[in-house]
Structure 1
Amino acid sequence: MISYLALFKKMKVNPLFWFVIGMGVLTGYFREVLMVFVIVFVHEMGHAVAAHFFRWRIRKIELLPFGGVAEVEEGGNRSFKEEVIIITAGPLQHVWMMAVSYGLVALEMWNVSTYQQFLWYNVTILAFNLLPILPLDGGRLMQLLCMRFWPYRLALRRTVGLSFLFLTVAVCVAVILYPFHLNLWLVLAFLIVNNYLEYKQCHYRFIRFLTERFYIGLSQQGKPHLPVVVSAHQEVSEVAKQFRRGVIHTIIVNDAKQKRTHYLPETEVLRALFEAKLPRAPLSTIIAK
C-alpha cells in the first residue's frame, strides 16, 4: 500500500492545466473545474496503478486538461498485454465514475443537473482520450497495433505519421466548428508540439529499444521466434531496423558468394552494433569472425 501511495509524489500538474483551472476560478466555474480535475486525476491514477502493479518504472505522472501522461522508463520491450492493460486502465475509470454518479442521483445526494454535467465531462474526456492521436490513449493503442504489424522503428514512424494525419483533421474540425474556443486551441497546440517532439525522438526511442535488448536482455521464455532473412552484404544497422517488439529474432544470412546460409542470433547483431561499433559493416564481417 505504501508503494502505491508513493505514486502521489510523482504527480505533476501541467502549466496548461493550471491555466485552465485559473480561468475557471476567475470566471466563476470553480465547481466545473473541480469536476474536470477529479475526473482527470482518477483517469491518470488508473494508468499509474496498473503500471505500478506490473512493476513498470514510473518517472512522473503529468495531469493535463484532457487527461494525462505517465512517463515510464521502459525501452519498448515489455509485453503487449501489459501495455494494453496499462493504457486501457485509464479509460475504464470513467465507467465506475459514471456509475457512482448515477447512484448518487438515485440516492438523492446529487441533483439531476449536477449528474448531467458530470456525465458530460466524463464522456467528453473519455471520447477525446480515445482519439488516435499521440500521446492520447487512442494514439498509444494505435502505436501498439502498428508494432504488431511492422518492425519497431517503422512502427514508430508510421504511428507519428498517422497521428499527425488525425491531428490535422481535428484542427480542421476545430476551425470550422469551434474557431474561438480558447481551451480547445490550447490543447491542440499542446498536441501539435508533442507530436513534433515524438517525431524528433523516434531515433532515440529506437536506439533505446535496441540497447535494452542487448544490455538488459530479453527473456526468451514464452517469446515467439521470428526469422529475419537478409543478405551477407547488408549493413548491421539496416538489419537492426527489422527488429520487432515482443519476439526473438534469428538472422538468416544468405551468402551468395559462398553459396551458403548462415544463422546468427540477434545478440550477434546487437554486439556488432554496440560493442564492436560497426553499424556500417556488412554482415559478412560478423560471419567471418
Structure 2
Amino acid sequence: MNSIILLIKKIRIHPLFVLVLGIGVITGYFREVLMVFVTVFIHEMGHAVAAHFFKWPLKKIELLPFGGVAEVNDDGNRPFYEEAIIIITGPLQHLWLIGASYLLQGTWFWTAADHKIFLIHNLTILLFNLLPILPLDGGRLVQLLFMYYYPYKRALKVSLYWSAFMLACFIIVSLELFPFHLNLWVVISFLVVNHYLQWKQRHYRYLRFLYGRQRLANETLRPIPITISIETEVRSILELLRRGCFHSFLVVEAMGKHVHYLDEKQVIGATIKEKAFTKRVKELI
C-alpha cells in the first residue's frame, strides 16, 4: 500500500493535458474528460507499477493527453525483458478497462452510451500509443528492437530517424483527415518538440550508457568477441558496444599478428580516466 502511495505522489500532470482537459470542460464534455483522465491515469500506473516491481529508479510520472511518460534514472543497460514488460503494461490496462466497462453496462451509474464513449476513448488512446513514434509505447518498442540488433549509439540514431519519418507521415495523414482537430495538433506539437529534444540529448544518453556499463556484472550478459586493428580509434570501438552484451576485443596488427586482449571495461575505464576518445588502441596497451 505504501508503495502505491509513493507512486501516486510522483504523478505530475503535463500542462498540455491540463489544456486538453480544460477545453473539454469548457465545451461541456466534463464526463468524457473524466473518462479520459481515469484512462490515462490507469495506463500510466501500469507502467509505474511494473517499473517499481523491477526496482527501476522512478523520478516522476507525467500524465499526457495520449498516456504519459514515466521518467526513470536509467542508463540504458537494464535487461531487455524488463523494459519490454514495463512498456507493454501500459497498453494492457486498456483491455481490462474495456472489459470492466462492458460488465458494468446497465447499472444505475453506467449506461450503454457511457460504455460506447468509454470504449472509443480507450481504443483511441491504445491505438495512438501503439504508433511507432517516440516517446509513445509503440515507438519505445521499436527503439528497443533496434537496440537488440544494432550497437547502442547506432540504434539511438536509427530509431530517431525512423520515429521522425513516421511522425512526418502521421502529420500528413492528420492534415488530410483532421485539419481542425485542436487537441490532436496540441499532441502533435508535443511530439515534434520531443523529437527535437531527444535528438539534442542523444550524445548525453550515449555517455550515460558508457558510464553505466562499468557497473554491469559480466556473467549475466551475452559475450561478443570483436577483432579490431591496433590503429583503430577508441571512440570507434565504443560505438560498437551493444546493450545486453559484454564485449571482448582481440587487438591485431596490420599483418594479423595477435597483440593484446582487452575487455570493454578496460577500454571504457581508460577512456574516462584519460579522456582517450580520440586516441588509438595502441596507446591504451
> Which bracket does the TM-score occupy, shorter chain normalised?
over 0.9
Deviation at 1:257, TM superposition (A): 5.9
**2:46–2:93 Cα contact (<8 Å) kept:** yes
- Where 1:229 maps in the other structure, the secondary structure is strand
For 1:39-188, list aligned pairs within 5 A: 39-105=39-105, 109-188=109-188
The gaps in structure 1 that reach 5 residues or longer are none
Indicate the RMSD between aligned Cα atoms, in angstroms: 1.2
Counterpart Cα distance in 2 of 1:220 and 1:260 = 24
226-235 vs 201-210, which deviates more?
226-235
2:265 to 264, 267, 271: 267
Match of 2:14 in 1: 14
Deviation at 1:156, TM superposition (A): 0.3
The one-letter code of the counterpart of 2:150 is W
What percentage of residue pairs aligned between the two structures are identical?
51
Counterpart Cα distance in 1 of 2:183 and 2:18 = 12
Deviation at 1:3, TM superposition (A): 2.3
Between Structure 1 and Structure 2, how many residues are aligned? 285
Superposed CA deviations along residues 41-63 of structure 1, whole A, max 9, x for unmatched, are 00000000000010000111000
The one-letter code of the counterpart of 1:178 is F
- Where 1:55 maps in the other structure, the secondary structure is coil
**1:226–1:249 Cα contact (<8 Å) kept:** yes
**1:236–1:272 Cα contact (<8 Å) kept:** no
The one-letter code of the counterpart of 1:38 is V
232-241 vs 261-270, which deviates more?
261-270
Structure 1 residue runs of 4+, over 6 Å off? none
Deviation at 1:281, TM superposition (A): 0.9
For 1:213-232, list aligned pairs within 5 A: 213-214=213-214, 217-232=215-230
Counterpart Cα distance in 1 of 2:107 and 2:23 = 33
Change (3 A) 1:235 1:106: same
Match of 1:191 in 2: 191
Counterpart Cα distance in 2 of 1:15 and 1:85 = 28
Match of 1:237 in 2: 235
Counterpart Cα distance in 2 of 1:99 and 1:286 = 60
103-112 vs 261-270, which deviates more?
103-112
**1:251–1:264 Cα contact (<8 Å) kept:** yes
**1:24–1:33 Cα contact (<8 Å) kept:** yes
Counterpart Cα distance in 1 of 2:264 and 2:219 = 16
The gaps in structure 2 that reach 5 residues or longer are none
Deviation at 1:206, TM superposition (A): 0.3
Deviation at 1:220, TM superposition (A): 2.0
18-27 vs 126-135, which deviates more?
18-27
Deviation at 1:186, TM superposition (A): 0.6
TM-score of the superposed pair, with normalisation by structure 2: 0.97
Report whether the alignment pairs 1:211 with 2:211: yes
Counterpart Cα distance in 2 of 1:285 and 1:4 = 52
**1:235–1:281 Cα contact (<8 Å) kept:** yes
Superposed CA deviations along residues 70-97 of structure 1, whole A, max 9, x for unmatched, are 0100100000000000000100000100
Superposed CA deviations along residues 92-149 of structure 1, whole A, max 9, x for unmatched, are 0001000100110165652111100000000000000000000000000000000011
**1:134–1:163 Cα contact (<8 Å) kept:** yes
Counterpart Cα distance in 2 of 1:47 and 1:2 = 17
- Where 1:180 maps in the other structure, the secondary structure is coil
TM-score of the superposed pair, with normalisation by structure 1: 0.96
Superposed CA deviations along residues 254-286 of structure 1, whole A, max 9, x for unmatched, are 212682242211111101210122111100111
Counterpart Cα distance in 2 of 1:106 and 1:145 = 43
